[in-house]
Amino acid sequence: MPKLQISKKEYETRRNRIIKEMGDEFDAVCLFNPTHIFYLTNFGFLQTERPIALILTKNNETFSLIPSLEQDRIEEVGYVEETRVYPEYPGKKHPMKYLKDLVTELGLEDKVIGVDSTAPPSVMGYSGPTLEEILPNSVIKDKMGDVIKEMMMVKSEEEIQLINESARWGGVAHEKLQQFTKPGANETHISNEATMEASKEMIETLGTAYRAVRKSRAGAFAGFRGQVGKHSAFPHSVSLNATIQNGDVLVTGASANVGGYTSELERTLLVGESPKKHRKYFNLMKEVQEVAFEAIEPGVKCSKVDKVVKKFYKKEDLLDLWRHHTGHALGLNGHEPPFFDVGDETRLKVGMVMSVEPGIYIPGFAGFRHSDTIVVVEGGIERITMYPRDLRNLTIPT
């Protein structure tokens, strides 16, 4: 049975690293970001108007502040020692006042607290005071977000196992998407059918040990997201409820949620026999992705990878068809730092997991993009989305 969740031991290792990073500068850490809280505790939740906070002390004690509706769940899944519960938001007493009470109870009201944000996320109608406003005698330092982001950049062996499993089932979903794609079919129907069939197979294979963990939707996904025909030239389109037609260029996307982690698989499909113009841009897109693959190795700056790719665009007179940087890190979020971007000077390290997805977009005609998930290894990369990349295997027969 493949690994499906991060171990309790690894969560402990992560928290110990945070304590080490605190050093003599901080007396405690307070986090609001849902991803950061999950990363340290295994407590995944939907961020609503109800704020949730995690406090980690130098003594490796963990305290959470949660709304009452999350009380039973955190007791079941979260690695948190003590929990404080508030009734509701906004409530007669604002949740941030409950947080002040907790900080005071822990003797931190006049200490130095490292945070990932000075206030909870302002989503779904939330509003409220900042930490500085409720804790005027504390020193609040907004530094821990960067610390955790840097920790998340290099994946552990356990994380890579989960991303590999995600890639496996993303591939299954994409196979079904391609199988169901034909002229006259509706893009939404195809996506729904492929997603349902792949998720059913995934859940039956993995059994009851599999859970969505931090996202409400379990299983795999595959679809077109509106990148059908001339709309494939929109790098981020939305579903158009389009009918697939002979001659269409289709840009796909597929993934699966495993232990809260995802991978990224995207392919360009061509419906029917490919005219010369289609073949030209397909082959150029495939070539520029290979240029990116070859540029990636430990020690190389992310900016250099993007510069090498842009050099190819310039050489092939494609700069006016460029729309976005070469890729980004993957993990608990769909997009994470670092980025294959001319402005990102991060040096690649063994264990970083990245998407590689340079695209070519011709307005009014079509877009061409493959995206693969790779792991940076000694000497180069390991591609973990092993779906075919060639035109013959990505042509939809008519």
* Upstream peptide bond of 298 is cis (omega within 30 degrees of 0): no
Residue (of 6, 11, 38, 64) closest to 215 by Cα position: 38
Average pLDDT, the chain: 97
Residue (of 168, 376, 340) closest to 263 by Cα position: 168
What parts of the chain have a pLDDT lower than 70?
Answer: 215-216
Residue with tokens 């792991």: 375
Residues 6+ apart with CB under 8 A from 309: 288, 291, 292, 295, 326, 340, 358
State the pLDDT at residue 301.
99
Given CA atoms 149, 151, 154, 156 in this order, what sign does their dihedral have? negative
State the pLDDT at residue 212.
82
Residue with tokens 């290894």: 377
State the pLDDT at residue 218.
87
Q: Which domains does the chain have, with CATH numbers?
A: 8-151 (3.40.350.10), 154-396 (3.90.230.10)
pLDDT, one tens digit per residue, over 98-146 is 999 999 999 999 999 999 999 999 999 999 999 999 999 999 999 999 9
CA angle, 293 then 163 then 394, to 5°: 55
- Chain centroid to CA 231: 24
CA atoms of 31 and 115, how far apart (whole Å) = 6
pLDDT, one tens digit per residue, over 155-194 is 999 999 999 999 999 999 999 999 999 999 999 999 999 9
Residue with tokens 């027969």: 397
Q: Collapse the DSSP code of 90 into the 3-class scheme (helix H, G, I; strand E, B; otherwise coil) and give the result.
A: coil
pLDDT, one tens digit per residue, over 269-281 is 999 999 999 999 9
State the pLDDT at residue 216.
62
End-to-end CA distance of the chain: 39
Instruction: Give pTM, 2 decimals.
Output: 0.96
State the pLDDT at residue 395.
98
Between the alpha carbon of residue 347 and those of residues 84, 341, 352, the distances in Å are 41, 12, 10
State the pLDDT at residue 47.
95
| Cβ atoms within 10 Å, residue 66 | 25
State the pLDDT at residue 215.
67
CA atoms of 83 and 34, how far apart (whole Å) = 16
